Amino acid sequence: MKNTKPNYLLLASLVISILFIGCSSLSTGQDGPEEFERRELPRQLSEQEAELVDGSGHFGFALMHQLVDDAPDQNHFVSPLSILMAYGMTMNGAEGETYTQMQETFGMEGMSREEINESARELLELLSQFDDNVQFNIANSIWYRDSFSIEEDFLVTNQDYYDAVIEAADFDDPATVDRINSWVDDKTEGLIDEILQGPIDPLTVMYLINAIYFDGDWTVPFDPENTQTKPFHLADGSTIETDMMHQEEQEDMHYRKGEDYEAVNLYYGDAGFSMTLVLPDKDVGLENWVNDLNWNKWQELTEGFNNVTLTLDMPKFETEYEIENFKKVLQEMGIVDAFNPAKSDFSRINPAHNDLHISDTRHKTFVRVNEEGTEAAAATSVGMNLTSVGPQSVQINFDRPFFYVIREVESETILFMGTMNDPSSS
């Protein structure tokens, strides 16, 4: 779905997406304000978890670069963590170059399969208990055609490490699409009510789905009485009127003035999560600033905030977003073989089908920012297809003229070929 709302959402979507990368981006380099000391992690990130967070961060910014390059004047809002979870499950079915391309694209080339799975499980547990005053839910599921055989180890691994709900379903029943969409709707508290569109393709044998929901009240809320309609200046030089929230001389707020930007931290709940807003200088512009940003620079940015008395205006907004042609975006980022039935290797899902491949993938998000706080959700789906009908109940009668070939399988050498029009003829 192409989004046509004002350009300020691109900035907000960039910084809010960091909520879904991991907790290491919450560092300020300063003690928190006296009114709300920043909540510490229940424990330090393990080396493996830190690698996963780093990989997610590198991927998130690479994805943002891709989206901004393709549509610089549009708003973008993504959840790298949601994508990583859905494709982390998918990677457990992959081998060879198919696995390697996903591993490298998601920045996990230095990690073993077991390390990726263990760190994913530990990170999910850690994030869910980080701040009792912020609602953060993440859920995974795998739905597969009930007539399609799945390797037990693939299902057990994703249950153990991703806490995935597993369901064999009748993909020919229209109610299955409704049930999958209802699962996503429930896990995102109604913010994303559809991730699949029916009917399901007869060649589709599996969906791997992640859903994330975030709901946090500002630690220092905005007073709705201070919200006023004010001008907002778009990148093309035009101006629109929008509802701008306002805080006046709020003490002990976190602010940073960089070489070509200004930034502030706004915290949620017990300050376990934050939104970091970055305002590039006018002569730099948002597009140029984002394209020059990467995970390492972002980490440096978040380490240099100072306590100030801050007067702040920021817009209220609400938007839903979907990456257009997500499959193409991932292919351009390096995941190629997984989408190609002639090259894909998902033998850890079903070794009997060397044509099993990712046929469709979607990433949808929603965000609402107002005086009380922020509500956001994301859903990512990975659809797996065959190129021919799999092991279903089939009946075929060669009771009319047909063509046939006798061949050597490995070299594809045709030894004989013919047509049969009348088997009674000699």
Confidence class for position 6, pLDDT limits 50, 70, 90: very low
Confidence class for position 416, pLDDT limits 50, 70, 90: low
Residue 394 placed within a domain: no
Residue 253 placed within a domain: no
Rounded CA separation 266/277 (Å)? 8
Q: DSSP letters along 305-356, please?
A: -EEEEEEEEEE-EEEEEE-TTHHHHHHHHT--GGG-TTT---TTT-TT-TT-
The answer on pLDDT for 37 being more than 90 is no
In the chain, the number of structural domains is 1
Residue 373 placed within a domain: yes
In the predicted model, what is the mean pLDDT of residues 282-306? 89
The answer on pLDDT for 93 being more than 90 is yes
Collect all residues with Cβ–Cβ distance below 8 Å to 179 and sequence separation of at least 6: 169
Residue 89 placed within a domain: yes
Residue 18 placed within a domain: yes
CB 335 within 8 A of CB 100: no
Confidence class for position 20, pLDDT limits 50, 70, 90: very low
- The confidence score (pLDDT) of residue 54 equals 87
Residue 77 placed within a domain: yes
pLDDT digits (tens, 9 = 90+) for 219-247: 999 999 999 999 988 888 899 999 999 99
Indicate the pTM of the whole model.
0.87
CB 246 within 8 A of CB 309: no
Residue 43 placed within a domain: yes
**165 lies in which domain range?**
8-218+318-385
End-to-end CA distance of the chain: 62
pLDDT digits (tens, 9 = 90+) for 366-405: 989 999 999 999 999 999 999 875 444 455 666 777 666 5
Confidence class for position 100, pLDDT limits 50, 70, 90: very high
Assigned token pair, 236: 């093309």
Residue 378 placed within a domain: yes
CA quadruple 246, 248, 254, 255: dihedral positive or negative?
positive
What CATH number has the domain bearing residue 93? 3.30.497.10
Rounded CA separation 279/102 (Å)? 33
User: Is residue 78 exposed (0-12), middle (13-18) or buried (19+ Cβ within 10 Å)?
Assistant: buried
Nearest-Å Rg of the Cα atoms of the chain is 25
pLDDT digits (tens, 9 = 90+) for 111-138: 999 999 999 999 888 888 778 888 989 9
Least confident of 26-40, 50-64, 168-182: 26-40
* Number of alpha helices (DSSP H) and beta strands (DSSP E) in the chain: 10, 13
